[in-house]
Structure 1
Amino acid sequence: MTSNYKHLPSCFVYYLNPTDMWSETDNKLYRAFTFSDFKEAFAFMTRVADIASRLNHHPTWTNTYNKVEIWLSTHDAGDIITIKDRELAKAIDTVAK
Structure 2
Amino acid sequence: MAVLTNDQVDAALPDLTGWERSDGALRRSIEFPTFLQGVDAVGRVAELAEQRDHHPDIDIRWRTVTFALVTHSAGGITEQDLQMAKAIDQLLDR
TM-score interval, normalised by the smaller of the two chains: 0.7 to 0.9
Point out where structure 1 has 5 or more consecutive residues left out of the alignment.
6-12
**Residue 96 of structure 1, CA deviation:** 1.5
Identity %, equivalent residues = 32
Q: How many residues align?
A: 85
Counterpart Cα distance in 2 of 1:67 and 1:34: 4
Give the alignment's TM-score, normalised by structure 2. Answer: 0.81
Across the aligned residues of Structure 1 and Structure 2, the Cα RMSD in angstroms comes to: 1.7
In structure 2, what is the equivalent of residue 67 of structure 1? 64
**Residue 95 of structure 1, CA deviation:** 1.5
Runs (4+) of structure 1 exceeding 6 A deviation are: none
Counterpart Cα distance in 2 of 1:26 and 1:66: 23
Is the counterpart of residue 28 in structure 1 residue 25 in structure 2? yes
Instruction: Answer 1 or 2: higher relative contact order, Cα 8 Å, separation at least 6.
Output: 2
**Rg larger in 1 or in 2?**
1
Instruction: Tell me the SS of whatever aligns to 2:33.
Output: coil
One of 48, 53, 56 as aligned partner of 1:51: 48
**Residue 27 of structure 1, CA deviation:** 1.8
Counterpart Cα distance in 2 of 1:73 and 1:53: 16
Give the alignment's TM-score, normalised by structure 1. Answer: 0.79
Point out where structure 2 has 5 or more consecutive residues left out of the alignment.
1-5
Counterpart Cα distance in 1 of 2:66 and 2:7: 24
Counterpart Cα distance in 2 of 1:25 and 1:42: 23
One of 36, 39, 63 as aligned partner of 1:39: 36
**Residue 20 of structure 1, CA deviation:** 4.9
In structure 1, what is the equivalent of residue 82 of structure 2? 86
